[in-house]
Amino acid sequence: MKLGLLLAHAGEHSTLEQALGSQYLLAWRCQQISQADKHCTSDPVDLVLVELHQHWQSNELEQMLQGLPCPVLLFSTDGLDHTKTVFTALGAGAKDYVALKSGAELNFSLLLKKIRQFDVLHHQGRSSPQLAAESPVVIAIGASTGGPSSLFELIKALPKEFKAAVVIIQHIDGRFSAGMAQWLENATSLRVKLVQHNEPLLPGVIYIAGAEAHLVVSKEGRLQLSQQPENSLFKPSIDVFFSSLSTYWQGHAIGVLLTGMGQDGALGLKQMKERGWPTIAQDQASSVVYGMPKAAVHIKAASEVLSLDKIATRLIQLCSK
């Protein structure tokens, strides 16, 4: 994997450069926003790491991101609140952000884990692509707080002849995932099941991700269980599944982010939107907790914002096209 590095503080991160150089090819480094585009043009890389600076203007960063031909991972080391700049940057196309502790000794382990995650999801290569016409539409649904009851209402409205494959990532204690799958079966005539490792995506089946493992789509287009990334706050993570689907699924997909606390799923939903797929966020009025959908709306990851009672109807419309 080939990296570019845009630093806010020159000469202070030799440890970071050593760590990067031991695992990846560090192609170039620069200090000015205006230089990054030139470097990417003359020496293309797989990922650009950008250290945020308090004096950088948001419009400068946004302009750079829109012009770069490669993905960008943001990080900061000054301990300052970069929230406004980060959300502007994410809206302009940055993939993720890592805030590192400021001090005499900086710990870059979290940044390195983020780079490894990106490497796994985006640079393992794609083989044996499936033809879109032979693949079912995949409806990827993420939910957290208030999710089970919302999911019950949503799938209850899906018709028995529904031909999409529905994959649900719900934050829930692992002891209850099997019970939730059985409970959701009461809402639909479609088949509902817990995901088994390495199984194919089939039309008319609702797959429930179990706990204690991430759910990902392999480069062969099958559902697989994975322990990577280990540092994820949630397992299974909505972002991890949405991102892997965006990377490896060769057919059509639709992303849905329902009620929940936090931000899991927002970045992954944005990746799905960038693939050209429809993306839906639940609106505030019908959400038990308007955290995850709000985060998605904030970074413009949702192509539509709908109340819960309108989402199933919209999914049926989208799948009939």
Question: pLDDT for 270-299, tens place per residue?
Answer: 999 999 999 999 999 999 999 999 999 999
| Catalytic-residue membership of 171 | yes
Tell me the whole-structure pTM to 2 decimals: 0.60
Model confidence at 13: pLDDT above 70:
no
Domains present along the chain, CATH in parentheses: 2-122 (3.40.50.2300), 132-319 (3.40.50.180)
What pLDDT digit, counting tens, does each position of 185-230 carry? 889 989 999 998 889 999 999 999 987 789 999 888 899 988 888 7
| Catalytic-residue membership of 298 | no
Q: Among residues 39, 122, 135, 144, which one is catalytic?
A: 144
Q: Among residues 264, 283, 286, 287, which one is catalytic?
A: 264
| Catalytic-residue membership of 264 | yes
Alpha helices in the chain (DSSP H): 14-23, 33-42, 58-67, 83-91, 109-122, 147-156, 177-185, 238-248, 266-274, 292-298, 308-319
Q: What is the pLDDT of residue 33?
A: 81
Please confirm whether the linkage preceding 229 is cis (ω < 30° from 0): yes
Task: Provide the residue type at 242 as one letter.
Answer: F
CA–CA gap between residue 165 and residue 142 (Å, rounded): 14
Model confidence at 121: pLDDT above 60:
no
| End-to-end Cα distance, the chain | 39
Q: What is the pLDDT of residue 130?
A: 39
Q: What is the mean pLDDT of the chain?
A: 84
User: Shortest CA distance to 312 belongs to which of 251, 256, 230, 246?
Assistant: 256
Percent of the chain residues past pLDDT 70, beyond the cut: 89
Q: Among residues 13, 82, 122, 171, which one is catalytic?
A: 171
